[in-house]
Structure 1
Amino acid sequence: MAWLQGSFLCGALLGWVCLSAPGLAVEVKVPTEPLSVPVGKTAELTCSYSTSVGDNFALEWSFVQPGRPVSSSQPILYFTNGQLYPTGSKAERASLLQNPPTGGVATLKLTDVHPSDTGTYLCHVNNPPDFYTNGLGLINLTVLVPPNSPSCSQSGQTSVGASAALRCSSSEGAPRPVYNWIRLGSSPTPPPGSMVQDEVSGRLILTNLSLASSGTYRCVATNQMGSASCELTLSVTEPSKGRVAGAVIGVLLGVLFLSVAVFCLIRFQKDRRKKPKETYGGSDLREDATAPGISEQTSVRADSNNGLLERPPSASTVTTTKSKLPMLV
């Protein structure tokens, strides 16, 4: 009897828990590894879920461009109320592997993939009242594209002893291609130190050019989908005699101008040192100064006979005369 009562109590407790517990959690499973598909092929983005499918079950696939947040996703298709609604720019190429997707499989099939299809795809399952997870799975898709024919160009001087840069770039290619420069023909290869290339940027630096550096150079752009190339002919020339003569004349004129400037500066300094300084001390008397105590009227007298002016006694004479006068105490 006691055993029956215990069993009844356990069953009642389990029933109460089941009745009071909310709906089950929605669980969405997607591959953890990114998906890579060659351009023009069909991509299958696997998505599975587990939930108790009811009348409120809804499925949504959306797309996010690389580098943008999930909140800016663009819809691809909806499934709700038993109907499938493709939408957006991918609507004509998007479908579900199982339709209706009520058996736990919500795989998206995208045909004839384009380079613009590269990005993140969101598989979102919504099934009220199962709200205990976000019911969201993310898949990263990369559309593989071979590099197109790169563009080759050069910059810098192509004369002996100068430096030049060769550049190579492809506008298409996924993953991003690497670049390799090679020299064609049987001409001798320039010294290793004079060629430095960057496989990422596609730049080739040629330093200390010589006539042996002339020739045809090929740039090859490569990724896992294929390769493409372009060629460029480099012609190294010797500096012209007229250019060399002009450079020499320019140097000589510069030296001559500098020499004349230095000579004029030295001459100016010497002349400045030889020129006397017209300065007077406080105790010096000028030759034409008037002696103290003699008025201007008495210092100059007119000679009525010959019409000449009589020069007043000099400062030295006045000083001597004053020194002979007796001093009164």
Structure 2
Amino acid sequence: MTTTWAPPSRNLSALACATPDPGPAVEVHVPAEPLSTPVGKTAELTCSYSTSVTDTFVLEWSFVQPGKPISESHPILYFTSGHLYPTGSMAKRASLLQNPPTAGVATLKLTDVRPSDTGTYLCHVNNPPDFYTNGLGLINLTVLVPPSSPLCSQTGQISVGGSAALRCSSSEGAPRPVYNWARLGSSPTPSAGSMMQDEVSGQLILSNLSLASSGTYRCVATNQMGSASCELTLSVTDPSKGRVAGAVIGALLGVLFLSIAAFCLIRFQKDRRKRPTETYGGSDLREDAMAPGLSEQIPVRADSSSGLLERPPSASTVSTTKAKLPMVV
């Protein structure tokens, strides 16, 4: 006779009861909507939880900048063993509205908020042996900042028929400002077809410029905290008028040069005619004066009869001889 062995039967319900109880869950509740606080004011970030607080209860608030993962968060404060420990760059401005935070509420109070406080805040409750959930709540905070004074600039070919790009940008402002351009004064605004505006980037494109496009343009940066503006003067030039003006100026300079040359020539001719000439009258000649162009050297002539060289009598000799002759009455 063959005997068959069979394993004892198991009570599955008993095994199920033997499974360890995971314990109560730590539930953290935070606002679902993002929070916003004006710069310089106080922000209150509400965090509540449900658990049976024990001696191992730990609360931690931390902060992570926008666009970065939670793993790069920085601690703001701790509560453990009945003591509160602020830490990090916000230590002097961060506190808890409920201290100690053991009654189910752990709201963070942050004074004198700054633009750098914009980001995600983490409320983390740890209460062993309550490990059923991670006990984490996330709150997004935006610090509202009015727009700073924008900077206006222009680029492009600022001449008739060309195009210009006017730009406007604020270095600060949260939420991000929107930009609107407008032309000042009573002059007509350029037609919609020649003007294209981007409120996000703050750029205004003016195409097919004319002289009527010249004027002062104002850009206004606006968000829910306020507005700021800057102005820019656009001066459209006409190259054709510049060429005509250059030709006219060149012609005028040519005429002026010729006039000066003619005046100088006429003046020279008049001065030449007025220049005095030297004249010699017979009554002005002295007895011993030499005729112009003659040398003072007295010529010597030869006497053919005596073979001697004979000097002609001088004027003084002739005068003396004439004085010695007797007068005949």
Offset at residue 129 of structure 1 (A): 0.4
* Count of aligned pairs: 232
Deviates more, 1:92-101 or 1:182-191: 182-191
Partner of 2:178: 178
Q: Deviations over 1:115-134 (max 9, x none)?
A: 00000000000000000000
Q: What RMSD, in angstroms, separates the aligned Cα atoms of the two structures?
A: 2.1
Q: Secondary structure at the match of 1:84?
A: strand
Partner of 1:31: 31
Partner of 1:209: 209
Offset at residue 191 of structure 1 (A): 1.8
Q: Secondary structure at the match of 2:71?
A: helix
Q: Distance in 1 between matches of 2:244 and 2:178?
A: 41
TM-score by length of 1: 0.68
Partner of 1:198: 198
Q: Secondary structure at the match of 1:193?
A: helix
Deviates more, 1:226-235 or 1:188-197: 188-197
Offset at residue 22 of structure 1 (A): 3.9
Q: Secondary structure at the match of 2:166?
A: strand
Offset at residue 245 of structure 1 (A): 11
Partner of 2:80: 80
Deviates more, 1:232-241 or 1:156-165: 232-241
Q: Secondary structure at the match of 1:89?
A: coil
Letter in 2 for 1:64: V
Q: Assess, with a 3 A threshold, how the Cα gap between structure 1 residues 160 and 48 changes in structure 2: closer, same or farther.
A: same
Q: Distance in 1 between matches of 2:44 and 2:245?
A: 72
Does 2:53 correspond to 1:53? yes
Partner of 1:318: none
Q: Deviations over 1:24-82 (max 9, x none)?
A: 11110001000011111100000000101010000000001000000000000000000
Once superposed, which parts of structure 1, at least 4 consecutive aligned residues long, lie more than 3 Å away? 16-20, 240-246
Offset at residue 18 of structure 1 (A): 11
Offset at residue 242 of structure 1 (A): 6.0
Q: Assess, with a 3 A threshold, how the Cα gap between structure 1 residues 132 and 184 changes in structure 2: closer, same or farther.
A: same
Question: Which structure 2 residues correspond to residues 1-329 of structure 1 after superposition, within 5 A?
Answer: 21-240=21-240
Letter in 2 for 1:49: Y
Q: Distance in 1 between matches of 2:232 and 2:242?
A: 29
Q: Deviations over 1:276-325 (max 9, x none)?
A: xxxxxxxxxxxxxxxxxxxxxxxxxxxxxxxxxxxxxxxxxxxxxxxxxx
User: Structure 2, unaligned stretches of length 5 or more?
Assistant: 1-12, 247-329
Deviates more, 1:187-196 or 1:110-119: 187-196
Q: Assess, with a 3 A threshold, how the Cα gap between structure 1 residues 60 and 18 changes in structure 2: closer, same or farther.
A: farther
TM-score by length of 2: 0.68
Q: Assess, with a 3 A threshold, how the Cα gap between structure 1 residues 244 and 125 changes in structure 2: closer, same or farther.
A: farther
Letter in 2 for 1:95: S
Q: Assess, with a 3 A threshold, how the Cα gap between structure 1 residues 18 and 177 changes in structure 2: closer, same or farther.
A: farther
Q: Assess, with a 3 A threshold, how the Cα gap between structure 1 residues 138 and 219 changes in structure 2: closer, same or farther.
A: same
Partner of 1:7: none
Q: Assess, with a 3 A threshold, how the Cα gap between structure 1 residues 132 and 201 changes in structure 2: closer, same or farther.
A: same
Q: Deviations over 1:108-165 (max 9, x none)?
A: 0000100000000000000000000000000000001110000000001111111111
Q: Assess, with a 3 A threshold, how the Cα gap between structure 1 residues 99 and 188 changes in structure 2: closer, same or farther.
A: same
User: Structure 1, unaligned stretches of length 5 or more?
Assistant: 1-12, 247-329
Letter in 1 for 2:121: Y
Q: Secondary structure at the match of 2:239?
A: coil
**Percent same amino acid among aligned pairs?**
84
Partner of 1:320: none
Larger of the two Rg values belongs to structure: 2
Q: Secondary structure at the match of 1:196?
A: strand
Q: Assess, with a 3 A threshold, how the Cα gap between structure 1 residues 211 and 241 changes in structure 2: closer, same or farther.
A: closer
